[in-house]
Amino acid sequence: MIPNKEPMTFGKMNRCLALISAAVALLATQVGCPSSAGMPSPTLPAAGPPQVPTVVVVNQDLQHTAVMPGTVEGEETTDIYAKFGGFLQEILVDIGDTVAKGDTLAVLSIPEMAQELERLEASAESAQAIIDQAVAGVKQANAQVESSQAAIEEAETETAEVEANLKFRVAELERTEELVNKKALLAKRLDEAKFNVEAATAALGTVAARVRTAKANLAASRANVEKAKTDEVSAVAKAKVADLNIETAKTMIAYGTLYAPFDGVVIRRMFDAGAFIKSADGNSAALPLFTISRINTVRLIVDIPMKEVRWLDEGDEVVFDRITVLPGTKIEGNVTRFSAGLNSTSRMMRVEIDLPNEDLKLRPGYFGYVTILLAEFKDTPVVPSTALITIDDRSYVFVVKGTTCQRREITTNYRDGTIVGIETGIKAGEQVVRTGIGQLTDGQEVKPVLSEIE
């Protein structure tokens, strides 16, 4: 490969020629050359076009990648808190233990909740007794209704008898009056007949009063039935509330037993048996008892710069290597998901790669480097990065045709600091100036010196 050469400019060439001429004159004086007086002055050769190093544009398959540090996390990672404060009665797992979903991790002792459950159970028994009493009250009230109805029927029957007797006495009085008027009976028999009518009338009033009393008693008995039924409904509702309170208390006590939420491993344990555990309910100072992580599949987390986001797609190929604890290991995968926005502080985007990990080779916290293949450019014209000049945010190269260089605008799709991939503007086989393009002008004559792209 030919090394880069700085192009020869006209100014430098003229200075060289002047120095050569001076040296020749000095040498002629020292060796006794005859005087030039009377002789014609020598003519210096004209300066030629500057030499410029050039390269031939070739096509290459290019890959645009992003290389960033990455960290391994579990597929799911959960801190296990206590909902209620209590004493750690029993702890059944330790760090590194494998757990299955539903396995018991620890048991808390919460004495006040046990006492509350006993109180609620006693309240439930009392509520049931009130229900039984209310049911009995309904039965008693119904019996009173039946008794009142019977009293009404009895009074109504008696009323009929008294009314019949009154009619008889009235008829008897009329006959007696007729006979007394005819002098067939003594006058005192009339007085007796009148007394019998008055007695029958009084008896009818008494029976009518008994009927009214019986009906009033019936209405009161029916009201008592409704009240007894209402008391029963209220007692049943109170018993239901008591039962619900018992279930709630049992649920609260059940929170004292902590279970594994999924299959995984214990990666952190914070307390020992006997420790007092603070409730996590509304308490930001509470600490988790455990951290459980599912690691048969892990997430590789990497943040990529904003400038690379436009190239990112789900499914992009990924290589995870240079893992500190696994030297020489290379793991391949694909981008699984990425955030919908950038981190407001770092201006980076979170990218996640799911990796199978049945052998548990990867552990949460492992660190390495992630190479993401963001784009591929097949058969792309390539030039050295030194062949590029940027003017007013536009990119140019100098294309050499014969001995003339032409400035040509191009667009790029790849840059890595050494070579540049050209999207439009030039094609393979053309020759471009490799270095020194800042001293050239469009249409300038040059002497190209071909080299190769390193």
**CA distance to 68, 308, 335, 337, per residue, from 313 (Å):** 16, 11, 7, 8
CA neighbours closer than 13 Å in the CB half-sphere of residue 210: 18
Q: What confidence tier does 364 reach under pLDDT thresholds 50, 70, 90?
A: very high
Closest CA to 147 of 229, 217, 225: 217
Nearest to 242 by CA among 129, 391, 355, 73: 129
What tens digit of pLDDT does each residue of 115-155 get?
Answer: 777 787 787 777 777 778 778 777 777 887 777 778 777 77
Distance (Å) of CA 385 to CA 130, 352, 396, 419? 94, 33, 11, 5
Q: What is the mean pLDDT of the chain?
A: 84
Taking the C-alpha atoms of residue 80 and residue 292, their distance in angstroms, rounded to an integer, is: 7
pLDDT category of residue 422 using cuts at 50, 70 and 90: very high
Residue 309 DSSP one-character state: G
pLDDT band at 177 (very low <50, low <70, confident <90, very high): confident
- Reading the block at residue 111, the tokens are 């004495």
The total number of residues written for the chain in this structure: 454
DSSP-assigned letters across all residues of 4-64: P-PPPPHHHHHHHHHHHHHHHHHHHHHTTPPP-TTSPPPPPPPP-PPEEEEEE-EEEEEEE
- What is this structure's pTM? 0.61
- Strand, coil or helix: 334: strand
Going along the chain from its start, the domains and CATH numbers come out as 51-56+388-451 (2.40.420.20), 65-110+266-376 (2.40.30.170), 112-254 (1.10.287.620)
What is the per-residue pLDDT for 186?
72
Low-confidence winner among 86-100, 141-155, 393-407 (lowest mean pLDDT):
141-155
> Quick check: 5 pLDDT over 50?
no
Q: Which helix (H) or strand (E) holds 412?
A: strand 404-415
* pLDDT 10s digits, 311-358: 999 999 999 999 999 999 999 999 999 999 999 999 999 999 999 999
Choice among 142-146, 250-254, 394-398 with the minimum mean pLDDT: 142-146
Kindly indicate the confidence band of residue 418, based on its pLDDT and cuts at 50, 70 and 90.
Answer: very high
Residue that the structure tokens 């390269």 belong to? 55
| Phi, psi of 202, deg, nearest 5 | -65, -40
Cβ burial, residue 11 (10 Å; 0-12/13-18/19+): exposed
Query: What pairs with residue 384 in β-bridges?
Result: 419
